[in-house]
Structure 1
């Protein structure tokens, strides 16, 4: 699949997903929920419309407000780039409780908390359309939150 086909595919998927009643649109950054419906707000700093433009050589920050769906003492965060169905790891943090901006671990089901993380967009990354997939897992490894954000690395 060439770059033009991939761009058209990602844009088409994003448009159809965002038109779906199941899509979650928030004022900060539009995203597609890919799991438990626990995300209250999500912001990719500097991105108010899709696809998010990720410039090589910069650091991108993700801020999320979440409602816990389980009791947990720990959190783990994972960020992947989904390239045509292949998940490429961007970042992982198995000590994500240290990245809470509000609330604290341990968390109880129903607790609201804020989370932030940053990922470097390396100069080595090719300019390509990609779907960023962010996951937050509880102590048992169960998914607490998941968001997909169509993006373009430039």
Structure 2
């Protein structure tokens, strides 16, 4: 009888380990390796996933939307937020900052997936950013982009930095 109980316990433990490992693999598959911003003092989101990219440089097709999903915790009460993007183009020894206008997609509150503004401090927020890759970015261009979210007083909320490469549509 004890042998039967021991086998049942071992079987349950094995199933738990396999299930837990599968969940970790699934979570890792939906995470893009991003780094801390160099030009803005803001924390990283708890999770960032650039669709189709887990390991930079991320290949983003020209004339299509790049889709960036983030999850972060509101650091304070906020009535509104904006997303700003800056591409850093390496020219010799200098990184030339090029602000990228996100248009209507810069209104962060309009693209929260699980909440709406105003938001409360400590609230976990899901956010999806769509950034259209314009034709004036030639195929083969490699830049590092910083996406930063700021609140109504322009105080940083979160920021991510990721290398990208523009590819054919």
Q: Which residue of 1 aligns with 2:100?
A: 90
- Give the structure with the larger helix fraction: 2
State the 1:144 CA deviation: 0.2
Which structure has the larger Rg over C-alpha atoms?
Answer: 2
> C-alpha separation between the residues in 1 aligned to 2:99 and 2:50?
18
Count of matched residue positions in the alignment of Structure 1 and Structure 2: 129
Q: 3-state SS of the aligned residue for 2:101?
A: strand
Alignment of 1:39-54 (within 5 A): 39-54=45-60
Contact 2:44 2:160 in 1 (8 A): no
SS state of the match for residue 32, structure 1? Answer: coil
**TM-score, normalization by structure 2:** 0.70
TM-score with structure 1 setting the length: 0.77
Query: What is the aligned counterpart of 1:106 among 108, 118, 121?
Result: 118
Moved over 6 A (4+): none
Cα deviation, residue 94, structure 1: 5.0
CA RMSD, 1 decimal: 1.6
Partner of 1:33: 36
Query: Which residue is 1:57 aligned to?
Result: 63
- Which structure is higher in strand share? 1
